[in-house]
Structure 1
């Protein structure tokens, strides 16, 4: 399997989003996590390749302020719910009709919001996410904003050490990332009733970063919880993640 191709689309406000595509077949839109990228989250550890081998086309945008996508420094470029609006713009730009939607962590938040606000994938995967995580963004956001603000003084042993190290690895634009962190909407549990399609809540067995995955699955109209090995960050490196995506999305029921 050859590597992904890349194209650029303009989002609702003209910000350019890089979109990486691999395979041919049923479209699957995959949204990566905070400070990550399409390549790091989906390509590097083989998940996109497994989907492509199974007859899907993996469509993987770099989120705004991440990867090869635009990183504007204007606060006006980060209205509330901006990432869900970007997801809707991507679906419209690529004229997707019958497709599946997958998100990890921040990508899962984005996928849930996008569905609540009108996207209609056939199947949905919320990975690295729990019930409390969808409604409790303010605390998580404050933690990461603090990490950005103390970026140059964080030492090993500090709770912010790992996210700061990851930001350094990914060469994150901290100005853009800080603005984005303030533009993510919470999801009230009552809104989950709008997520009617079959939904897999896929989470590492040592991942409680975003609360209860089983609680989220139980709160969804058609949810199921699937556990794979790993912590929040570690689960992305597990081959089981790609295997479970293929297994769930292959089911046409």
Structure 2
């Protein structure tokens, strides 16, 4: 379960004797409890925005006039609320400020990142099999960075990737079999990374059989309501483990 930890400072408190926060960050980060976080600028630099009657109302300063303010945030992953509270109590700011621990809104299966990204990859397999270029490109961001093992096909943007895929499809005939031998995924809120071994089998236009296994590292971003591929690096995998996986 993920928890948002709002680190609340206090203008009237003396924080001169507080210990540094770096050991807390290092310890919880190494243990996989703290996923990420960041310090925020002073509330004097905040801007509060409201829309009333179609008019945008801007107020310089924080939402609430109070001596306490949100000085930073951390995203924690804990099994229970009690564990998240224990982690918050170890934060140095807890000795002079306040720590608000709030669970993330629970996701449905459709919203689950792991489920969504694995479904995205399954869609790539189907699109490659059918050689459906439009369906293959659909989950890629317009500014995607793609590094292809064939020389000259590296490029930025969806147009460059389209040209690379068009060329590749022109070298094979009939359906293309894409088999994911190993898929490892790490998700961190709106960013995710996967590493996979992907085996591709097809018939080249020369009549020869193609059977290759490549390493594919993919970066994803969640800009709105669906995951998009923003970076992909494909390279040849040369090790004994590949042959074992393929046999």
Q: TM-score, normalised by structure 2?
A: 0.19
Larger RCO (CA within 8 A; separation ≥ 6): 1
Higher normalized strand content (fraction of residues): 2
Q: TM-score, normalised by structure 1?
A: 0.19
